Amino acid sequence: MFKIPNYIGPLAFGVKMGVILPGDDIIDSVYDAVKKCDADGLIDDGDILCVTESVVAKAQNNYVSKKEIAEEVKRKLNLTAKDNLGILYPIASRNRFVPILESLARAVPEGEITLQFSFPTDCVGNQLVPDTLDKQLNRNVSADEIPFDELQRIRFYHPATGVDYVALYRKIIEKEGAKPNIFLSNDPRTITKYMPDGIIVSCIHNRRKILQQMKESFSNTIALDELHNEPANHAWSEWGLLGCNLHSAELIKLAPRESFKVARNIQAKIRDAIGKNTEVLIYGDGAYKDPSTGIYELADPVCSFGHTDGLITRRKGIKYKYFVGLLLSQGKNRKEIEQCIEKEKRKSYKIDDDSMEGTTPRKLEDIAASLADLVSGSADAGTPLVVIKNLA
């Protein structure tokens, strides 16, 4: 039996679980994987068991068709096939927003899609226009609208994916039969001048603020999380279409539903069956910004879709390197420094105390989810379960 040595600090490792299919019992599947780890001495009280949202949603068979989305859009915004549907601040993403855009365009196949991008990037940092935009248009565009006819003269390929998203989104809208009107403006109210019959706020992290602002001037406005968010639907999520992904040509995978309940049930199963008191988290994207591309990788609405109660805390502590320098300057030797730091760790400080200088308290659920996402990888390492030790 393997045991983690006590000189090891925070540690995370991925666990292979095999293929998860719709209808599988995700609680039993996770338990079986954890049981194997426990037999090898790899599970301890206080461990955090992180389960990727994708396998939870898959086991729940939480898939919706593009046709169903189109029908719900028409119903909730009272649209006809010939109406003008406004889409405000979508992200530039092939697997995230392209299937949504196809669905929305199907709601108005004889009408128009008016799509407003923010610029120079979308809400998660995807660059949409070149740095030389002013020069290409021969004017200062920082506070202006860039209309459809001008935008067609600009070809810009995303530095990471090589995709011209303006051209791609135009092609998708036209393919579904609707007329595209794509433009750039950082004033969300600009879209109303094109007389849409309904608007869908499509940004992620500032959606509530934008939605409230839009409703003041255009009442027939909803956000993506208001579509397929009702338990009466055969597939639904509290997050609606936020956090969804392309699954197949006609199906979209929603974020998992009732993730807090799933996490608690996994925790109870492991506690009752193998006697280990663990925390459980259902994770999505990690909350980190890519230093090379400037993209904020959190395209999900949250890092953790659900978790157990032990993760409702903030990770904080003394600044280790600060104390080493301070104690060294006081003439203390290595042994004395180590003893003093151990004593300081047991003390309780307010966040504005000098001892906490340089320490930013962060939600433990966000740290754990981000770490799990980095371990499992966006390309998917085939390890939908990540075990984190010694993090709290």
For 40, the token pair is: 């090898």
d(CA 386, CA 357): 31
Is residue 380 domain-resident? yes
Q: What is the CATH number of the domain that holds 170?
A: 3.40.50.620
Instruction: Supply the pLDDT for residue 279.
Output: 97
Handedness of CA 200, 206, 212, 214 (dihedral sign): negative
The residue to which tokens 């666990």 are assigned: 15
Instruction: Give the residue from 201, 219, 253 where a domain finishes.
Output: 253
d(CA 86, CA 192): 8
261 and 247 within one domain:
no
309 and 370 within one domain:
yes
Is residue 379 domain-resident? yes
168 and 275 within one domain:
no
The verdict on whether omega for the bond into residue 120 sits within 30 degrees of 0, i.e. cis, is yes
205 and 80 within one domain:
yes
Could you tell me where the beta strands, DSSP code E, fall in 37-188?
48-52, 63-65, 84-88, 112-117, 179-184
Residues 6+ apart with CB under 8 A from 140: 134
Which of 312, 311, 316, 298 minimizes the C-alpha distance to 370? 298
Q: What is the CATH number of the domain that holds 54?
A: 3.30.1330.100
For 160, the token pair is: 């990471």
Instruction: Supply the pLDDT for residue 22.
Output: 95
Is residue 219 domain-resident? yes
Q: In what order do the strands lie in the sheet with 179-184?
A: 179-184, 112-117, 84-88, 198-201, 221-223
Which of 123, 116, 249 minimizes the C-alpha distance to 175? 249
Is residue 3 domain-resident? no
What is the full DSSP assignment across 300-318?
Answer: SS-SEEEE-GGG-SEE---
Instruction: Supply the pLDDT for residue 318.
Output: 60
Residue ranges in the chain modelled with pLDDT below 50: 355-356, 358, 379
135 and 35 within one domain:
no
Is residue 6 domain-resident? no
Which of 392, 311, 387 minimizes the C-alpha distance to 345? 392
pLDDT tens readout for residues 316-333:
556 667 777 777 788 878
d(CA 164, CA 128): 8
Give the domain extent around 25: 11-61+256-315+361-389
233 and 348 within one domain:
no
270 and 162 within one domain:
no
225 and 147 within one domain:
yes
Which of 252, 269, 193, 263 minimizes the C-alpha distance to 67? 252
pLDDT tens readout for residues 257-285:
999 999 999 999 999 999 999 999 999 99
HEC sequence for 73-110: HHHHHCCCCCCEEEEECCCCCCCCCHHHHHHHHHHCCC
249 and 260 within one domain:
no
Is residue 35 domain-resident? yes
Q: Which helix (H) or strand (E) holds 35?
A: helix 26-39
d(CA 230, CA 189): 28
Count of structural domains, the chain: 3
217 and 95 within one domain:
yes
CA distances from 84 to 78, 87, 105 (A): 11, 10, 10
Instruction: Supply the pLDDT for residue 240.
Output: 97
Instruction: Supply the pLDDT for residue 378.
Output: 59
Residues 6+ apart with CB under 8 A from 248: none
Could you tell me where the beta strands, DSSP code E, fall in 230-339?
245-246, 251-253, 279-283, 304-307, 314-315
For 57, the token pair is: 């949603």
225 and 78 within one domain:
yes
The residue to which tokens 């809400």 are assigned: 123
Which of 17, 11, 98 minimizes the C-alpha distance to 52? 17
Instruction: Supply the pLDDT for residue 358.
Output: 47
Instruction: Give the residue from 221, 238, 253 where a domain finishes.
Output: 253
367 and 270 within one domain:
yes
Instruction: Supply the pLDDT for residue 288.
Output: 87
Is residue 4 domain-resident? no
pTM over 0.75: yes
Beta-ladder partners of 283: 52, 304
Is residue 121 domain-resident? yes
Instruction: Supply the pLDDT for residue 350.
Output: 58
